[in-house]
Amino acid sequence: MKLPSLHHLLAETARVARRFPLTLLCALVLCGVGIYIQRLDFRQQQDLEWLFPALSAAGLGLTLTLSVDLAAERYRWPLGLRVLVQAGAVGLLGLWYGLCPAEPTLVWGLRLFLLLVGLHLLVAVVPYLPELRRQADTPGFWRYNETLFLRILTGGLYSGVLFVGCALALLAIDNLFEVHLDERWYPHLFTVLATVFNTWFFLAGVPQDFAALETAAPYPRGLKVFTQFVLLPLVVLYLAILYAYLARIIGQWTLPKGWVSILILALAVAGIFALLLIHPIRDNAENTWIRTFARWFYRALFPLLGLLAVAIGTRIHQYGITEERYLVLVLAAWLALIATYFLVRQGRGIIWIPASLAAVAFLAAGGPWGAFAVAERSQLAQLRELATQHKLLQAGKLDGASQRVPNLPAPVRQRLTSSFEFFADRDNLAAVQPLFAASLALPDSLRRPARRQKSRPSEARLEWAQRRWTQERLFDVSGISRTSYSEVDGKQELTAEFHSKPPQAQPVGPGRYWLGNLRQESYRFGPGDTLAAFTVPQGQFRLHTAGRGGLLRLEQRAGSGWQLRLQASISSLADSLARRHGANPSQGVVLPAGGFALRASAQDLTLHLFLSDVTRRQHQDTVRYGFEGNALLEFTPSNLTQKPPAK
């Protein structure tokens, strides 16, 4: 076999760049942003709000721009129309970038998944959309998708082998020649191969001569063997299991388990995929069994789809529609239509499978008919119905509902918990604001401060406090306790959770207070980074860090300001340990507990700091410190109740 020359490789590279310029640009953006992220620490990533929008827009752009270029090429669009449609695609990506949140939420993550599925299926059908109006299949559609499928597998194999080989080469250079390579070279290498190389390799194999795909070609024997002796027997096995389960629940007259929905969908996908793989040889004289299997497979789906409908319908009746239940219900309806269609058409018209599924994905991703809007309306209706049925409303509001109906049945509290958690998990308390008189908006104390004050309080604690407040707000205002059911040994176990926020300063004796769970991350720091704030009979105090986490300061409120009472040097301890054990040891150093205790005293009080972990990070001339531990604050007997005068 003649190896390709360098000239040929360069020519192919240039040809792909001319044919799919926008798709390659999206791959380059993915690569560049991915490498940029890998060179940032966690705090720096949190500060950049454009990372997720850029990554997701570039990911969507890969298949969107590829579909546009394939359509322009296949249908011979004039240059002006092609440029106009490409500009429209770029505009849609810009719209996504502008609307997308800084961090992937449940709703936006699922919406991104649906759009990615729809766009990948669009690539599979866009050159053959006229096939939707034809009575018979042409060989070109199947061979086109066979080429794409095999190219994806080959590209993944090549990229994987290259990564392993190059990673081992870097490791050999590092170990044999004592060249200390940056460990980030490995994720950088993976990113380049997974984005730029893999995309370029795949695009080089995308068919360009569509007329040649219509000519007869031998069917891959390995594909037939895999489908006939591996995939189809597995489909038959799962059919037998599901029918045995169906017979069992009919015999026992019990409701099916929700988990059966996943198995039925997996069976349907595997069966349809197997039939698509052997579609070109279904009419051969020696393969009449394929047509027989296809007819009985589609017929066998209907009882199982009925079982799926009962399973998901039971959950919807109990808890309303969520996005996941919406998608299961829509997929069940789609499978029923596809099975009916292929029974009527006798297995012809396979382009309808990816085309219709792409339409379902796009429709479910947004709009008043989409998964998110339907789920929100369903959960809101459930909440209103429960509140009205059990007389929880007063003047149309749920505030203090537990006082009006103190003995709500556990199943009702569980359903209310499900609805409350639905809106809290999606950070959408505004949707249920009409049912509450108290404000469900974040209080000013938990709102994100201006960037110049971003370090007080720290972003991590602020985000945690926001999530905690959102999760508990509906329960706090209504007074309804959080309740849930879980399945244990086939029986329902009732679980009620009760929460209490202990004071940050726990009294452990006269003038002695225990301060637990003090934590300062070495990659999150800022001036005035408060770790604990508490009020005791001796006054109002706070513990916070300074000097990039190197100093722990105890301050007391004095008038409108704060007065420094004492401080402990974390940096002195960490620096001395680094001099003794090295600034970059190969693994964490375990020390005796006694070596991790610090003591700082003032005239009338003493702070004992018991550390469990100390971290020292040095980048060039910048050193940052982190620690975890507990503290004991002691006041002298003469000042146990005396407060300092206000200044």
Q: What is the pLDDT of residues 161-207, one digit of tens each?
A: 999 999 999 988 888 887 778 888 999 999 999 999 999 999 999 99
Radius of gyration of the chain (CA): 32
Sites in the chain below the pLDDT cut of 50: 450-457, 486-491, 525, 527-528, 645-647
- Dihedral angle sign, alpha carbons of residues 241, 242, 244, 249: positive
Res 197: pLDDT: 95
- Dihedral angle sign, alpha carbons of residues 175, 178, 183, 186: negative
* Residue that has been written with the tokens 């388990």 in this structure: 257
Res 522: pLDDT: 61
Res 363: pLDDT: 95
Q: What is the DSSP letter of 527?
A: T
Helices (H), 75-105: 79-99
Output the six-digit token pair for 421: 């958690």
Half-sphere exposure (CA, 13 Å, Cβ side) for 615?
Answer: 16
Which residue type, as a one-letter code, is found at position 425? D
The CB density around residue 464, as the number of other CB atoms within 10 Å, is: 12
Output the six-digit token pair for 319: 């808890």
Res 455: pLDDT: 42
* Residue that has been written with the tokens 């408060």 in this structure: 530
Asked whether 551 and 564 are in contact (CB, 8 A), the reply is no
Res 204: pLDDT: 93
How many angstroms separate the CA atoms of 427 and 424, rounded? 5
Output the six-digit token pair for 568: 């402990």
Res 489: pLDDT: 39
Output the six-digit token pair for 472: 């508990």
* Residue that has been written with the tokens 């040095």 in this structure: 618
Res 488: pLDDT: 36
3-class secondary-structure state, position 151: helix
3-class secondary-structure state, position 565: strand
**CA 622 to chain CA mean position, Å:** 34
CA dihedral 439, 440, 443, 444 (to 10 degrees): -80
Output the six-digit token pair for 52: 């997720």
Please write down the long-range contacts of 411-417, taking CB distance under 8 Å and 24 or more positions apart: 412/386, 413/480, 413/481, 413/483, 414/483, 414/484, 414/485, 414/494, 415/318, 415/319, 415/382, 415/386, 416/383, 416/386, 416/478, 416/480, 417/475, 417/480, 417/482, 417/483, 417/484
Q: How would you write 316-339 as a 3-class SS string?
A: HHHHCCCHHHHHHHHHHHHHHHHH
* Residue that has been written with the tokens 């490995």 in this structure: 186
Confidence (pTM): 0.74
Asked whether 91 and 65 are in contact (CB, 8 A), the reply is no
Res 646: pLDDT: 44
How many angstroms separate the CA atoms of 416 and 484, rounded? 10
At residue 635, φ and ψ (nearest 5 deg) are -105, 145
- In 538-604, where do the E strands start and end? 539-546, 551-558, 561-569, 597-601
Output the six-digit token pair for 340: 């009916």
Res 466: pLDDT: 80
